[in-house]
Amino acid sequence: MTAESGILVMNKPQGFTSFDVIGKLRGILKMKRLGHTGTLDPMATGVLPVLIGTAARACDILPDEGKAYRAGFQLGTVTDTQDSSGTVLETHPFDVPEEALRQILPQFIGEIQQIPPMYSAVQIGGKRLYELAREGKEIERPARTVTVSGLSLEAYDRASGCGTLAITCGKGTYVRTILHDIGGVLGCGCMMTALERTAACGFTLRDAHTFAEVQQAADEDTLDSLVIPTDRLFLTLPALQLGEVQTRLYRNGVKLELRRIKGISEAKRYRVYGAEQGFLGLAEADRENGILRVYKNL
């Protein structure tokens, strides 16, 4: 195994938390420095980019490129977790025409208000909501603004009340809460029955690998073929190519004079490449003082 830094996109299996994925990969890769790019519930499957080596430093500066999901649902049932893993609280009769379901979906597109579910990792008063929920407590949660850029019905069976939605949304959006709230508008309740993340951080299921594939690559010393360069996370930022002396200064954390840097634009943040070392990290322009400073070494 020769890969020391980059992105390993995993296809998370059901039943694993994001931290479980990190734990198993540490065993396969014999590496401690790993980080994931966003929590997935144990019920969920699909795209989970994992940052390995120095790329793990990027966990807290990732651009919000949005995420895409495919979610299964069942009308007529309300649970305490808002999905089929929870305890059933209510059941209601349902007979919802497909057109009626489609007509309400636009209500959940754009910037919407969403109350986080009790079974979530949101912290209120220094305690995780799921910890309170497990103690049998329910507290008032303030609504948060989240962004849903796409919501469409992929499949639906009126008789069973089961179907699938395709959802594209921003950071902090709870898909199961969207389904729960759709059930509220319909008046019959709804729970999520399956969730697959189909895209995250610019990566899709085509980029994702199973544990078996990673184990085989590690055994055959071909892990490099699976690891994606770290700069793929920041392709939306303009690139700067530094000269040899500038590269050395940047790597030592020295501020550079903006007027001496080729390719500088009106952007605030940049991808930075060295004379021979390739991708170095991110830099930020301070035009008031005429300098370019290191934002994050990667």
Query: Is pTM, for the whole model, over 0.85?
Result: yes
Question: Rg of the chain over CA atoms, in angstroms?
Answer: 22
Instruction: Tell me the pLDDT tens digit for each residue of 143-195.
Output: 889 999 999 999 999 999 999 999 999 988 999 999 999 999 999 999 999 99
Instruction: Tell me the pLDDT tens digit for each residue of 197-217.
Output: 999 999 999 999 999 999 999
Residue 263 pLDDT:
85
Instruction: Tell me the pLDDT tens digit for each residue of 53-108.
Output: 989 998 888 887 789 999 999 999 999 999 999 999 999 999 999 999 999 999 99
pLDDT of residue 288 exceeding 60, the answer is yes
41 is catalytic: yes
Burial (CB < 10 A; 0-12, 13-18, 19+), residue 215, is middle
- Using CA atoms in the order 11, 15, 17, 21, what is the torsion angle rounded to 10 degrees? -50
Residue 254 pLDDT:
93
- 179 phi, psi to nearest 5 deg: -65, -40
In terms of residues, how long is the chain? 298
Q: Of 63-67, 94-98, 243-247, 258-262, which one has max mean pLDDT?
A: 94-98
CA distance 298 to 281: 5
pLDDT of residue 1 exceeding 50, the answer is no
Domains of the chain: 6-65+202-232 (3.30.2350.10), 67-200 (3.30.2350.10), 237-297 (2.30.130.10)
CA distance 116 to 179: 13
The confidence band for 129, taking pLDDT boundaries of 50, 70 and 90, is low
> Around Cβ 246, how many Cβ atoms within 10 Å?
21
Residue 117 pLDDT:
78
99 SS3 class? helix
Ordered DSSP codes for 51-86: EEGGGGGGGGS-----EEEEEEEEETEEETTSBTTS
Among residues 20, 41, 60, 286, the one annotated as catalytic is 41
Pick from 148, 147, 160, 11: which is nearest to 72 by CA? 160
Burial (CB < 10 A; 0-12, 13-18, 19+), residue 248, is middle
